[in-house]
Amino acid sequence: MTEATVERIRLFLIESPIKMARLQGVGNVKGTVKRVLIELTSSDGVIGWGEAAPWEVFTGTPEAAFSALDIYLRPIVLGKPVRRIRALMAELDRVLVGHAEAKVGIEMALLDSVGKASGLSVADLLGGRVRDTIPLSFSIADPDFSADLERMRKMVPEGNVIYKVKTGVKPHREDLDHLEAIRKEFGEKVDLRVDYNQALAPFGAIKMLRDVEQFAPTFIEQPVPRKFLDVMAQLTAALETPVLADESCFDRRDMMEVVRREAADAVSIKLMKAGGLFEAQAIMAIADIAGLPGYGGTLWEGGIGLAAGTQLIAATPGISLGCEFYMPHHVLTEDVLEERVANRAGHVVVPDGPGLGIRVSEASVRANARVIVEA
C-alpha cells in the first residue's frame, strides 16, 4: 500500500473583525485580529486544516508566521509522508528556530488529515478521551466594564460560571472595584479568576495581590513579567491563592524550571506557545509529576485552532481547570467554520467527528483572507 504524502499546501493570511476591544495587560486588541490558516492536501485526496495565531506582544506576528510557513517550512513539508508526524516536526525544528505557531499549524493539519483518513478524532490519536466537554472561561477584558457586567447577566443564567478578569491595565483601585462588583452581584455562583498578563512590577506586587485575595479568586495568573521567575516563586509561597504560570512557561524546559523553583501552582497550556499538540502533552506530563493542574489558554485563535485545543484537552487528563475558548462565539464577528464548535451550558463540546471534527467554509476563508498563496 502506497503511503500518502503531502501534495499541496495553501496558506491564507486572515484578518477578522471583532465585536469588542480587549484590554490584555501587555497589549491591547481592537478592531480586527489576524491569523494564518493552512490547508494541506495529501496524495490520497484528504484535506487537513491547521491554524497559526501569533500575537505580536506574546509570540510573534502573523506576517512572520505566514513567511515562515511559505518560505521555510513549505519546501520541507511537501512530499513528506502524512502519518510520520513526529519525524517531520523534528525536521522542522532543525531547519527553523522558533516560530512555534507556524509549526503547530502544520502539525494540526497533519493530525486532521490522519484522523480523517483513519476515521479517528485527533483526541483518539492523542490517546483517547478522558472528557467530552470542557468548562468555558470567559475573559472580562472589555474597556467598558459595564458592558462585560451586562454580558455576565446574560451568560450566568445560561450556565457560564467561570470568569477571568484581566487586571493590571487599569488602576489598582478600579480593579478592586470591578472584582467587588462581580462578587456583590453574583456571589459564589461564579468561579472568579484574575490574570495580570505580566502587568505588575515586582516591587509592591505582594500588597496588591493580597488586596485581590479578599475576593477569593481560584487563581492569579502571571502577575509579574516572565523574566522574574524568582519573584513568581516568592509570590507562590506567600499567597494563599494559587498562582498560575502563563508567559513563564512556553516549553518543557520552562516547565521543568517552574517546577524546580516552585514558581507556580498551575500552568496555562497554549498550543501557540508549545508549538505542537504532542509538545503540549509533554509539558503537561512534567506538570502532572509535580501535581500542577493545567488550564487551556489561547491567544486569538479562531475555530480551527480552538477545535485542536479541545481535542488536546479531551485527551489530556491534567488540563482540568477549563479553557478560555470563547473567541469564535463571543468575539469574532465571523468564523471560518461551517458550524462553530458547540457551547452548551457553560461548556465547550469537543467535536466527535474524524480529525478535528470540523468543516471549513471556503467562502468564509476567502472573504476574510488578505493574502493567499497556493502551491
Cell numbers placing 308: 485542536
Q: To 5 degrees, how large is the angle CA 318–CA 323–CA 325?
A: 145
Cβ 355 vs Cβ 112: under 8 Å: yes
Closest CA to 142 of 312, 22, 291: 22
User: In the annotation, is 184 catalytic?
Assistant: no
Please state, in angstroms and rounded to a whole number, the distance separating the CA atoms of residues 311 and 120: 11
Instruction: Report residue 314 CA to chain centroid gap.
Output: 14
Taking only Cα atoms into account, the Rg of the chain, rounded to an integer number of angstroms, comes to 20
DSSP-assigned letters across all residues of 352-368? -SSBTS--B-HHHHHHH
Say which of 107, 279, 301, 324 is annotated catalytic: 324
**Alpha-carbon gap, residue 224 to 41, rounded angstroms:** 43
How far is 328 from 306, CA to CA, in rounded Å? 8
The whole-angstrom separation of Cα 304 and Cα 338 is 11
Percentages (nearest 5) of helix, strand, coil residues in the chain: 40, 20, 35
Residues 116, 164, 166, 273: which is the catalytic one? 166
The answer to whether residue 30 is catalytic is no
Cell numbers placing 159: 450556565
Catalytic residue numbers, as ranges: 166, 324
